[in-house]
Chain A
Amino acid sequence: MRHTISVLVENKFGVLARVAGLFCGRGYNIESLTVGPTHDRTISKMTIVTTGDDTVLEQIEKQLNKLVDVLKVTDLTGSQFVGRELMLLKVRTTRADRGEIVQLVDVFKANIVNVQEGSLIIEVTGPSEKIDAFIDLMTPFGIIELGRTGKVALARSSQTTEMLEPPAPFPEPSSAAVADVTEP
């Protein structure tokens, strides 16, 4: 089954490698993975789309949580959430079919962001199924290339997706030692 997992991580270098490495090292699938900083610059949000049975998903969640830089893992699957991705698609055009393409762009509420003699770049956002459908429709015209971001997702509720509690204060193991420091 396909799962959409939202992961809050420390915005530090190397975190993406740790997460991606965990997936490949343990043989889990990644269908898509997006990452970017949140409004708190110290925290990044990853959205991972993966497949697996319940046992695999349980392990993915637990193994992610085991990473020291992972703050919170939330499997959105089965809950109310909005998932969107963005695609840029470059399609071949001729004078004859340009009008038809523009109509389809309108129907999909997509945008034409670049026009050349013989090609258009179209920006589409929406659920992954909508993106897939748009690709199907463009295929007969001749797709030159395309890029997709992969899904980002937020829970519909008024809370944060992760319902992240404020972090507990760290029990400083060395705070006592700081005061007791003696010169060797």
Chain B
Amino acid sequence: MSTATRKKAPAKAGAAAPAAPAALIKGAELLIRCLERQGVRLVFAYPGGQAIELHQALSKSTIRVVLPRHEQGGAFAADGFARISGQVGVCMATSGPGATNLLTGIADAYMDSIPLVVITGQVPQRLIGKNAFQETDIIGMTRPIIKHSFLVLDAADLPSVVAEAFHLAASGRPGPVMIDIPKDVQQKLVPADLQARISLRAYTVPAAASAAEVETVRAAITASQRPCVLAGGGIISGNATAELRTFAESYNLPVTTTLMGVGAFPDSHPLSLKWLGMHGTYYANFAANECDLLINIGARFDDRVTGNVQNFATTAKIIHIDIDPSEINKNKHADIGIVCDAKDILRKLNHHPVRQEYAAWHRQIAEWKRKFPLTYKKTKLIQPQYVVETIYELTKGQAVIVPGVGQHQMWAAQYYKFERPRQFLTSGGLGSMGFGTPAAMGAKLACPDALVINIDGDGSFQMNIQELGTIHTENIGVKMVILNNQHLGMVAQWEDRFYGSNRGNTVLKTGDRPYPEFVQIAKGYHIPGREVWTRAEVRDAIRDMLETDGPFLLDVHVEYQEHVLPMIPPGGTYKNIIME
């Protein structure tokens, strides 16, 4: 479309000059222009019968299109893109199976509050409700796992819908937003008018904490002897890590994070307790439970954090700060509940810090840290923890780690030391196996200069193994390390602990040689790789991986030997913590 035919940018709003009418373009083209205007530079999109118009329009756009090999991979890639960059991730699919394949990715983004705009083709309006070929009510199917959704019935609404969708996805508590567009709407010729009329009159974003609220928090801290900060993913999505650090340092407060909050506070910081919960550190769990004031900022008292929530932090006064009003008192009663932006309240608290020594408390924490550090047994085998530690060492702590879901995910979180936000991208709330590879792919595309390492399990990796195709064709330089134990290790661990080691379909191996041969598979996609059989080779192999340009797959045979520890049994309390 040439500039001559484009409607000029409105010089004066309201002054409807009798200019030449805007040129007519297809709804699909209008949509893509709206995406361009939102600053979208990359979408993960899979074509199909009801998405063909979208792809035709994309082919004439400046937006880069990455073709995943499965729509779920596309959704996770958009999610990884959003997690590392903080920008809205965009993925697209056709109607029916294309749309349903996105569901896990949407649910994942919803649980972890990740901003996504998901665009799906839909059958033409005249076929909706007729069980047409590849028709699904995707709006209905996604309703419980989405922040908001739009079914577009008029192509002229697209500019408003896109503007609203991006605003909703990114603002307040971020989340996925869906735009479902029937094919006739994509094909309809409409004026190329990008003017958006947004009418989200009921949607407000809480922002500022009041002076009284700030004072309440300060007073509670002043009155406490054993304070503890619990930082969640809200610190990262709220870009409040610097403020959190100042807060902790100036008030002299120990800080633990949730799994989603990993990176919100530097692991190496003397006030850091690392993360808490089912597989969190002994000292984080003890500090959070034995404190007399728990300051939760941007976390939601998930059951994997609290165990039995009634018995969690029973001696503590609870301050809960969250941007989502519905989180206050949802899982855990808050003595002080404040709905606001994390950055705002931390900044205000940092104006006049109240610094106390809490000497006995810090001594107690130091003792827990000394007595019960994260540790594992060294044997002749390759310990998965050792692999993670070696990756940490050889990457000088600079890599972005994107695990799948399972034991390896916990070890990655435990034994890599994270210093900055958006350095550990994980499927926390939904716990979606298969997350790692595509999310790492999306992260690497968003930040090509970052060293992105997908630490995965053999079970998890196989759930989106087809994305090796995307990695090859788009030449995405992600490093993949498979901690291959030939088991669904996390479930096997539960079987060992709670089901007398009776194996219920958790063994993946068959025969003597580990299966499948991941390096052979990678080779099939023209991706180099290497197998590691002995502890002595680990370091060299990782170095090999890091020194190879572009993508690389490392298949490390760790055997099923280890449990993730510590472990608080589900529904238990910190006092039930299992250390060996």
Enumerate chain A interface residues (CB-CB to B < 8 A). Answer: 10, 14, 17-18, 21-22, 25, 55, 58-59, 62-63, 65-66, 68-72, 167-168, 170, 172-174, 177-181, 183-184
Contacts and interface: CB of A to CB of B under 8 A. Distances in A.
B143 A184 contact: no
A178 B198 contact: no
Contact of A178 (B9, B140, B144, B324): B9
Interface string B134-147: 00000110011001
A71 B202 CA distance: 5
Nearest to A59: B330
B40 to A, nearest CB: 12
A72 B203 CA distance: 10
A21 B10 contact: no
Contacts of A63: 326
B202 A167 contact: yes
Contacts of A72: 202
A180 B9 contact: yes
Interface string B190-228: 000011101111111000000000000000000000000
A130 to B, nearest CB: 35
B10 A177 contact: no
Interface in B320-335: 324-326, 328-330
A47 to B, nearest CB: 18
A68 B198 CA distance: 13
A72 B201 CA distance: 11
Nearest to A55: B329
Contacts of A59: 326, 329-330
Interface in B157-171: 163, 166-168
Contacts of A25: 144
A17 B148 contact: no
B280 to A, nearest CB: 27
B196 A178 contact: yes
Interface in B106-141: 139-140
Contact of B201 (A21, A55, A71, A173): A71
Contact of B326 (A14, A17, A65, A184): A65
Which secondary structure dominates chain B's binding surface? loop
A167 B203 CA distance: 9
B347 interface: no
Nearest to A54: B329
Given A70-B202, A178-B196, A58 B329 contact: yes
Interface residues of B, number: 37
Interface in B323-352: 324-326, 328-330
A64 to B, nearest CB: 9
Given A68-B147, A178-B10, A178-B194, A14 B139 contact: yes
A68 B148 contact: yes
The 10 tightest CB contacts between A and B, nearest first, are A167-B201, A62-B326, A71-B202, A68-B148, A25-B144, A183-B3, A184-B62, A174-B163, A21-B143, A170-B198
B37 interface: yes
B6 interface: yes
B364 interface: no
Contacts of A22: 144
Contact of B199 (A14, A17, A170, A178): A170
B462 interface: no
A170 B37 CA distance: 19
B143 A170 contact: no
Contacts of A58: 329
Given A170-B198, A177-B37, A65 B325 contact: yes
Contacts of B200: 68, 170
Of the listed residues B37, B139, B148, B202, the one surrounded by the most CB atoms of chain A closer than 10 A to its CB is: B202
Contact of A68 (B168, B196, B324): B168
B196 A172 contact: yes
Contacts of A172: 163, 196, 198
29 contacts: A10-B201, A14-B151, A17-B143, A21-B144, A59-B326, A62-B326, A65-B325, A65-B326, A68-B168, A68-B202, A69-B202, A70-B202, A72-B202, A167-B202, A173-B163, A173-B166, A173-B167, A174-B37, A174-B196, A177-B37, A178-B9, A178-B10, A178-B195, A178-B196, A181-B37, A183-B1, A183-B3, A183-B6, A184-B62
A65 B327 CA distance: 12
Nearest to A173: B167
Nearest to A178: B195
A183 B194 CA distance: 12
